Structure 1
Amino acid sequence: MPGSEPVADVIVVGGGSGGCVVAARLSENPDRTVVLVEAGPDGARSGPIGTLPVGPGSPLVWRYPGELQPGRGVTVARGRTLGGSGAVNGGYFVRGTAADFESWPASWSYAEVLPYFRRLETDPFGDRRWHGDSGPIPITRTAAAAQHPISAAFLDAAAAAGFGYRADLNEPDAAGAGPVPLNAASGARVSTAAAYLGPAAGRPNLRVRTGVVARRVVVDGGRAVGVEVGVGPRSRVLRARTVVLCAGAVGTPHLLMHSGIGPAQQLSALGMPVVVDRPGVGQGFEDHPEVTVGCRLVQPSPHEPTRAILEVVLEADGIELRPYTAPFGDVISGLDDPVGRIGVALMRPESRGEVVLQSADPAVPPLVRYHYLRSAEDRAAMRSGLELARDLLASPGYARLVVPIPAVPAATGTFENLGTSMHLSGSCRMGAADDAAAVVDDRCRVLGVDGLSVADTSVMPALTSRGPHATAVMIAERVADFLDA
C-alpha cells in the first residue's frame, strides 16, 4: 500500500486513559510491536491536581460543539494529550458500584471486573478484599485534618441531615458522604500516561507518536489492516494486524463513522461509503447532567494548586452532591467564574444522547447532542437534589462560610447553571451481534470487522452511577488481556 510504514502488530489510536494502558500492557510482550498514535502533545502526564488546564486556548483539549437541550449550546472539552482527560481533570477516581455492573453482560459482572480494579491501583486504605497493593495508579484521599473548610462543613451538614459517613467510596456498595478517591500523589494527579506509559518508555517494541491525527481505519476484505493518519497536511497509512481504538466516547464513534462503520442512513446522506451498517455508532450515549447551586465565600482565600477541587461527595439515591473547594475561575485559566458552587448531578439519568456527523471531512468535529432532562422523572430528581443542596448550604456550619446565591425557579424544566459532568459513555456500547444498537461484543471487538477493538468509555453498555474514569482504566486493562489471549 503506497505511503505505508512497516507492519506493526498493534496500532493503538488515542493516548488517553485507555490507550496508554493498552499500549503499555500489550508491549510487555517483547515479541509484539506496538505503535501508539496521539493527536495531542506529550505535555500533561501529571500536574497539580487543583489546576485544570482546559481553559480557552489550551492545546491539551479537543473542543466539540454540543447541545445540552434544544437551543442550549455548550462546548465539550476532552483531553488531547498523552493521558487524555485523566491528565487534565480533577482526579476523581471512584469506581462503579457492584449494582452498576448488573446491567452489563454477565462476563462483566462485579466479580469479573474486581480483579482488574485491584490490578490497576495501589491503595493502602480500607478492606483489602477490594484494593490492590502494587498497581500502577496511586490512590489517595484527603485526610480529615487536611480538608478544606468547605469540605468539612459539607460532611458535617450531611451527617446532621441523616446521611451516613463512608470512608471508602470504592467499596462495592458504597453510598453516603465521604472522601473522594483520587488518582494522585503528593498533590499531583497521576494519569495513565505517567503510571503506565512512563515506565514502558524504554521498550524497543513500543513507539509513541504524538501530533498524529487518525482520520480513518482502513478496512480491507472485512478486516482492519491499518489507520490513515495525518501529520499536518500530509497523510499516510500505518499498517497493522490489529487496531485498537481508544479515542474516547466522542472521538471513537467519529472515527468509526469516517471509516464507513456506522448508521448507513447518516453516512449515505453525507455521501460517505458504508463499509458496515452499525446503527448504534454514536447513538444512545449517557452522561451525568449537573446543575450547580452558586454561593459566595464569606472569607475568600487563595486556591492552593495542590488541593483537589473536589475532596468529598455525597452519594444518595442516584444523586451526587459535589461541594467544590474553589470557584472554577480559580482552577481553570482564562475562565471568568468567581462563584463558589455545589454541584448536583443525576447519576442514573434517563436521558440519552447522540454523536452526529456534521461533514464528510474528518477534520470537522461532530455535534454532541445530550438531550438532558427530557423526562419528567429526571427533572423531578434534579429538583429534589437541588432542594437537598440548598438545605445543606443553610446548615449552621455551612452558613458561616458561604452566602447562597438565589436561583431562578426550575419548575418549568429550564434549569439555571445546567452543565455536563463530562462523563460521556456508551456511544459504541457492547452487546450481542443481533442487537442493532450494539457496536462491539463483550470482548470489545467491533461487530462486522475483524482485527478492530475498542477500549474506552464508549463501549460501556450502561453508565456507572459514579464518574467513569476508574472504570475506563479497568476496561482498558481487560481489553489488553483479551488481546493477549
Structure 2
Amino acid sequence: MDGTFDYLIVGSGSAGSVLASRLAEAGKRVLVLEAGGTDRRFFVHMPLGYGKLFYDKAVNWAYKTEPDPGLNGAQDYWPRGKVLGGSSSINAMVWIRGHDSDYDDWQQVSGSSHWGAEAARAAYRAIEDNADGADAYRGQGGPLHIRSGQEPAHPLVKPYIAACEAAGLPYNPDFNGPVQEGSGIYQLTIKGGRRNSAARAFLRPAMKTGRVAVRTRAMVTRVLLEGRRAVGVEYQWRGKTLQARAGEVILAGGAINTPQLLMLSGIGPGAMLAGQGIEVALDQPNIGQHLNDHQGINYTYRMNVLTMNDILRPWWGKMLVGMQYLLTGKGPLSVSINHGGGFFKTDPALDRPNMQLYFQAFSTLIPRADERPILSPDPFPGLSIGLSNCRPTSRGHLELASPDPFAAPRIFANAFSTNQDVDEMLAAVKFIRRIAAQTPMADLIAEELRPGPQIATDEALIDDFRTRSGTVFHPSCTVRMGSDPATSVLDADLRLRGIENLRVCDASAFPTLIGGNTNAPAMLMGWIGAERILAH
C-alpha cells in the first residue's frame, strides 16, 4: 500500500467503517486492513440472506465457546463478521440505541461526559437518516438510512402487539425514543430493500474520497512495537508477510479479535502470555476479561394460520419470493428475521427494562445437517417469540489457545453463572407464555412446541433455558474503557494505557454492555471515537 497514512485501522466492522469515514472527512489519510473479503455478495445485501450467512465461513469467523456449565455443558456457536462491514454485514439489522441510562453508565465508568446520554443522543441524530423523520430523538439527513419502524413485516405482528398489550406491555412506536419499554416494530438498517451495513453507509463512500485505502484478506498477526510505542502492524496477505505503518494504530476488530491481537502482540495477562511462549511487552490483566454478552432463547409454536414457513420452505415459494425480490426489491426477502419485538421488566420496581423481546413469524426447529448448513424454515406453520437479557451480571473471558494467530482463541462465556441472571431469565420465560396465552395470539396458536407444556416447574424451566439458550451475538467489554486503571484498559479517549500511539475503537471498548442490540452502539463508538482521536 503506497503512501503515508495518518491512521491504520485494523478491522472494517461497525466501528471501524464509521471511524475511517469520519477521519477521512477530517482530511486524514487512512489505511484499513480487513481479514475478510468483499461484501459484494448477493446474500450479504439481501436482508433475509442472514440465514445463508449464519454458518458461512467465507464471511464468518464461526467461533465456538468452551463447554459452558451455565449452558449444561454445551459449546455455544458465536458467528462474527469476517467481511467488509464486519458483523453489520451478517447481522439481523435491528437498530437499537439502548436506554439513556446505559450512557449514564458509560459516563460514570469512563469518567467523561463525551460518552454520556446527551452526547450519545446528539451523535445518533447526526448518524441517522430515519425514514420516519426527525424529532428530538430521531435524526434525518445523516449517512445511515434507517428503515421505518412503522412498516409491519408480516400480518402476525399486529396480533403479537395486541397480545403484548393484553399482557400489560403497551405499544411503543419508537424504542429509540423517550421510552424504551413496550412492544412494537423494530427500526432496521435497510435501504431500498438492501442491507445497509457500515461498509455500505460509511466505508465505501469514504473510499471514494481517495483518502481511505482498504486491503481485504489482510490477516493482521501482531502490532509492531518499538519499546512501548506502536508503529504499525504485521499481516499476512496472499501468502506473504508484510508490514504497514502509520502515525497511529487503531484496533477495531471487535470483542474477540481485538483482545486476541493484543495478546499475540505481547499485551495482556503476563502469566498467560508467558505460558504461550509470547514475550510480554505489557502485563495488562484486564485484556480479555470482563466479557459480557446477552443470552437468549426462543419459545416456538405450531400455528393454525400461515406463517413465513409456508412460503419460504417449499421450492415454489422460494422461487416466488426470489423473483419478487429480484424484480421489485420487496417481499419477505427484503426484511429482517425479526419482525417485531419489545422491552420489558421482570420486576416493576426496576428503573429500566432488563429483557428484550424478538418476534419472528417463522421457526427453525429442524436444522440442516449438511456441510454448509443454513437456517431453514420448518415444514409446518411455525412462529417464535424469543427474548434476551439486557444487563446480565455474569462475566466471561477469553485467552489464547495458541501463539498461532490463525488459531481461534478460547472463549469462556460463563453464561448464567449468577443467581440474578437465572432468576431474571426464569421470570422472563414465564412472561413469554403470558403473552402467548392472550387473545388474539392464543386463538392462532395450535400448540407450544419448544419447550412444550410438559416443561412447567421452575426447575424444568431453568434446565430448559440452560439447555437451549445461547448468545444473541453481542459480546463486548473485553478491552474496556474506564477511569479506573485497575479494572479497565483504555482511557476515555480510547488510548491503551502503557502503549503510545495505540487505541481501540470497537465493542471491546464498551465500558458496560448496552441494554439492546449492539450494532448501533458500535457505530456510535466509531463516531464519538473519531472525535476523541481528532481532539488529540
What is the TM-score with the length of structure 2 in the denominator?
0.85
* Residues 25 and 172 of structure 1, relative CA distance in 2, 3 Å threshold: same
Alpha-carbon distance in structure 1 between the residues aligned to 2:260 and 2:18: 22
Q: Give the structure 2 partner of residue 411 of structure 1.
A: 459
Matches within 5 A, 1:193-232: 193-232=199-238
* Residues 5 and 219 of structure 1, relative CA distance in 2, 3 Å threshold: farther
**Greater fraction helix:** 2
Partner deviation per Cα, 1:48-81 (whole Å, 9 max, x = no partner): 2222042334411112221472321022110011
Q: Give the structure 2 partner of residue 72 of structure 1.
A: 74
Alpha-carbon distance in structure 1 between the residues aligned to 2:65 and 2:376: 20
Helix, strand or coil at the partner of 1:348: coil
Q: Give the structure 1 partner of residue 493 of structure 2.
A: 443
Q: Give the structure 2 partner of residue 123 of structure 1.
A: 130
Q: Give the structure 2 partner of residue 424 of structure 1.
A: 475
> Shift of residue 333 of structure 1?
5.9
Cα pair 2:134 2:140 within 8 Å, conserved: no
Q: Give the structure 2 partner of residue 319 of structure 1.
A: 355
Matches within 5 A, 1:269-308: 269-298=275-304, 299-300=306-307, 301-303=310-312, 304-308=332-336
Alpha-carbon distance in structure 1 between the residues aligned to 2:213 and 2:169: 50
Helix, strand or coil at the partner of 2:124: helix
Aligned equivalent of 2:11, options 14, 33, 49:
14
Cα pair 1:54 1:77 within 8 Å, conserved: no
Q: Give the structure 2 partner of residue 475 of structure 1.
A: 525
Alpha-carbon distance in structure 1 between the residues aligned to 2:82 and 2:120: 28
> Shift of residue 109 of structure 1?
1.1
Helix, strand or coil at the partner of 1:380: helix
Alpha-carbon distance in structure 2 between the residues aligned to 1:364 and 1:213: 12
* Residues 185 and 292 of structure 1, relative CA distance in 2, 3 Å threshold: same
Q: Give the structure 2 partner of residue 256 of structure 1.
A: 262
Q: Give the structure 2 partner of residue 110 of structure 1.
A: 117
Helix, strand or coil at the partner of 1:473: helix
Q: Give the structure 1 partner of residue 90 of structure 2.
A: 88
> Shift of residue 44 of structure 1?
4.7
Q: Give the structure 1 partner of residue 61 of structure 2.
A: 62
Alpha-carbon distance in structure 1 between the residues aligned to 2:178 and 2:226: 43
Alpha-carbon distance in structure 1 between the residues aligned to 2:427 and 2:55: 33
Partner deviation per Cα, 1:1-53 (whole Å, 9 max, x = no partner): xxx975422111001111111112112244x3211111111125861222204
Q: Give the structure 1 partner of residue 99 of structure 2.
A: 97
Cα pair 2:482 2:491 within 8 Å, conserved: yes
> Shift of residue 396 of structure 1?
2.9
Partner deviation per Cα, 1:85-126 (whole Å, 9 max, x = no partner): 111111101001111122223421101222211111111436
* Residues 126 and 8 of structure 1, relative CA distance in 2, 3 Å threshold: closer
What is the TM-score with the length of structure 1 in the denominator?
0.93
Helix, strand or coil at the partner of 1:62: coil
Number of aligned positions between the proteins: 479
Q: Give the structure 2 partner of residue 377 of structure 1.
A: 420
Alpha-carbon distance in structure 1 between the residues aligned to 2:142 and 2:236: 35
Partner deviation per Cα, 1:424-458 (whole Å, 9 max, x = no partner): 111110012x5222111111111111111111111
Q: Give the structure 1 partner of residue 317 of structure 2.
A: none
Alpha-carbon distance in structure 1 between the residues aligned to 2:186 and 2:479: 29
Residue 9 of structure 2 aligns with an amino acid whose one-letter code is V
Residue 138 of structure 1 aligns with an amino acid whose one-letter code is H
Q: Is 1:187 aligned to 2:189, yes or no?
A: no
Stretches of structure 1 that go unaligned for 5 or more consecutive residues are: none
Q: Give the structure 1 partner of residue 159 of structure 2.
A: 153
Residue 325 of structure 1 aligns with an amino acid whose one-letter code is A
Helix, strand or coil at the partner of 1:411: helix
Cα pair 1:124 1:131 within 8 Å, conserved: no
Alpha-carbon distance in structure 1 between the residues aligned to 2:81 and 2:224: 25
* Residues 186 and 325 of structure 1, relative CA distance in 2, 3 Å threshold: farther
Runs ≥4 residues deviating over 4 A: 328-333
Cα pair 2:10 2:32 within 8 Å, conserved: yes
Matches within 5 A, 1:319-358: 319-328=355-364, 334-335=374-375, 338=378, 340-358=383-401
Aligned equivalent of 2:33, options 32, 37, 44:
37
Cα pair 1:177 1:315 within 8 Å, conserved: yes
Alpha-carbon distance in structure 2 between the residues aligned to 1:429 and 1:285: 9
> Shift of residue 337 of structure 1?
5.9
Partner deviation per Cα, 1:337-379 (whole Å, 9 max, x = no partner): 6263211211111111111210111111102111111112211
Helix, strand or coil at the partner of 2:425: helix
Alpha-carbon distance in structure 2 between the residues aligned to 1:362 and 1:307: 37
* Residues 190 and 127 of structure 1, relative CA distance in 2, 3 Å threshold: closer
Residue 88 of structure 2 aligns with an amino acid whose one-letter code is G
Q: Percent identity?
A: 30
Partner deviation per Cα, 1:171-229 (whole Å, 9 max, x = no partner): 24321112111111233220111011222222222211111111111111211100111
Cα pair 2:131 2:145 within 8 Å, conserved: no
Alpha-carbon distance in structure 1 between the residues aligned to 2:156 and 2:411: 34
* Residues 95 and 68 of structure 1, relative CA distance in 2, 3 Å threshold: farther
Partner deviation per Cα, 1:444-477 (whole Å, 9 max, x = no partner): 1111111111111111111111111111101101
Helix, strand or coil at the partner of 1:50: helix
**Greater fraction strand:** 1
Residue 301 of structure 2 aligns with an amino acid whose one-letter code is C
Cα pair 1:44 1:88 within 8 Å, conserved: no
RMSD in angstroms over aligned alpha carbons?
2.2
Residue 337 of structure 2 aligns with an amino acid whose one-letter code is I
* Residues 99 and 55 of structure 1, relative CA distance in 2, 3 Å threshold: closer
Alpha-carbon distance in structure 2 between the residues aligned to 1:91 and 1:212: 26
Cα pair 1:261 1:278 within 8 Å, conserved: yes
